[in-house]
């Protein structure tokens, strides 16, 4: 009895390139679905909660839809600033707004909490140089700072947790 000899120039161990791609595609699909499906569920939950005008994180919600409740500004009317606030650095990232407070980081090394009605500082917390957008959840402000550090800061007092 004779068996055919492989005439494959790549050797007997060569595998079909399509067969090698299938596990990679399955892994990529699983990663994609694991990131997209939770976001869709979060978007569904947050879209029903129109009672709040807060934008507690970058693009407004965990799904990063950018959608905010309400009609937005009237395009026929000019936007009028009610107050301004200066820091000793640049403000490179988007702010978070929660419970009447604007939270933002600055390249001067601080995280600021500013009252939305008065423009007065509620507190300033040192986090080191930052271009990170804060996120607010359960009365805690989360923000990235210098030396690849993630800070958790009490939203009411500005104290590091």
Q: What is the pLDDT of residues 68-111, one digit of tens each?
A: 767 777 888 888 888 899 999 999 888 999 999 999 999 999 99
31 or 144, which is more confident: 144
Q: What is the 3-state secondary structure (H, E, C) of 62-129?
A: CCCCCCCCCCCCCCCCCCCCCCCCCCCCCCCCCCEEECCEEEEECCCCEEEEEECCCCCEEEEEECCC
160/62 Cα distance (integer angstroms): 23
3-state secondary structure of 58: coil
What lies within 8 Å, CB to CB, of 84 at 6+ separation is 119
**Cα separation of the two ends of the chain:** 77
133/103 Cα distance (integer angstroms): 9
Where does 96-154 sit in CATH, by number? 2.40.10.480
Average per-residue pLDDT in the chain? 75
Q: How confident is the model at residue 9 (pLDDT cuts 50, 70, 90)?
A: low
Could you tell me which residues are beta bridge partners of residue 144? 150
| Structure token digits, residue 39 | 């976001």
What was the pLDDT predicted at 147? 80
What is the pTM for the complete model shown?
Answer: 0.61
């Amino acid at each position: 009895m004779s068996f055919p000899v492989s005439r494959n120039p790549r050797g007997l161990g060569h595998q079909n390139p399509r067969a090698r791609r299938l596990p990679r595609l399955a892994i990529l699909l699983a990663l994609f679905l694991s990131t997209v499906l939770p976001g869709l569920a979060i978007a569904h939950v947050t879209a029903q909660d129109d009672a709040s005008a807060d934008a507690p994180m970058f693009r407004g919600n965990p799904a990063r839809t950018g959608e905010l409740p309400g009609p937005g500004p009237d395009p026929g009317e000019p936007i009028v600033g009610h107050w301004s606030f200066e820091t000793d650095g640049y403000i490179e990232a988007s702010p978070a707004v929660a419970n009447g407070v604007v939270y933002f980081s600055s390249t001067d090394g601080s995280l600021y909490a500013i009252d939305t009605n008065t423009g007065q500082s509620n507190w300033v917390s040192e986090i080191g140089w930052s271009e990170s957008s804060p996120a607010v959840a359960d009365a805690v402000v989360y923000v990235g700072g210098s030396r690849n550090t993630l800070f958790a800061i009490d939203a009411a007092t500005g104290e590091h947790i």
